[in-house]
Amino acid sequence: MRHNKKHLKISRKKEHRLAMLANMSVSLIKHKRIFTTLAKAKLLRKYIEPLLTRAKKDTTHNRRHVFSFLKNKEAIKILFNEIAQKIANRPGGYTRILRVGNRKGDNAKMCLIELVDFNPYIDQENLQAQKKQTIKKVRRGGKKKKSQTTQTATTT
């Protein structure tokens, strides 16, 4: 029977799997987006979302708890100082998985996992400011200028 066996094993033993997830979490926190396989990304999302929820409340207990998973002081500083401020109002869903196709060598499904509030291509503050402004559209093109045929006809 499959009682209490929900996690993906992804062909690794427990120690290797936890070390890999901790390393990928630190990379995601530092770089805000990483490329990986789809199976690893789905497993990483389950691993890092509770840590991001804990980071919203900056207490000594929460810092120690997150450090027990990540084991990297620089990542803890970035997480609690920079990332926690951006995700403070978000009730959940801190990561986004975007599929990017298959890997050339072994045809593995590849994806991009990123923190939602840190998309460099979409500046959230400017996007909200643009939504508030209404742009008045002006229709132009009522009268056309004289074309070349009418100009040549008048000169001859």
Judged by phi (left if over 0) then psi (alpha if -120 to 50, else beta), residue 85 lies in alpha
**Count of structural domains within the chain:** 1
The answer to whether residue 27 is domain-embedded is: yes
Section 8-31 average pLDDT: 93
How far is 75 from 103, CA to CA, in rounded Å? 29
The better pLDDT of the pair 65, 135 is held by 65
The answer to whether residue 1 is domain-embedded is: no
Assigned token pair, 5: 């066996």
The answer to whether residue 74 is domain-embedded is: yes
Who contacts 92 (Cβ-Cβ below 8 Å, separation ≥6)? 49, 53
Domain limits for position 111: 14-125
The answer to whether residue 53 is domain-embedded is: yes
The answer to whether residue 107 is domain-embedded is: yes
Identify the CATH number of the domain in which residue 53 sits.
3.90.1030.10
- Tell whether the model's pLDDT for residue 135 goes beyond 70: no
The answer to whether residue 117 is domain-embedded is: yes
pLDDT digits (tens, 9 = 90+) for 45-54: 999 999 999 9
The answer to whether residue 54 is domain-embedded is: yes
Section 124-139 average pLDDT: 63
The answer to whether residue 93 is domain-embedded is: yes
Of the listed ranges 15-24, 60-69, 135-144, the least confidently predicted one is 135-144
pLDDT computed for residue 153 by the predictor: 61
Predicted TM-score (pTM) of this structure: 0.74
Q: How confident is the model at residue 99 (pLDDT cuts 50, 70, 90)?
A: very high
The better pLDDT of the pair 113, 124 is held by 113
Alpha helices (H) in the chain, listed in sequence order? 14-31, 38-55, 60-70, 73-78, 84-86, 124-132, 148-155
pLDDT computed for residue 8 by the predictor: 78
How far is 23 from 70, CA to CA, in rounded Å? 7
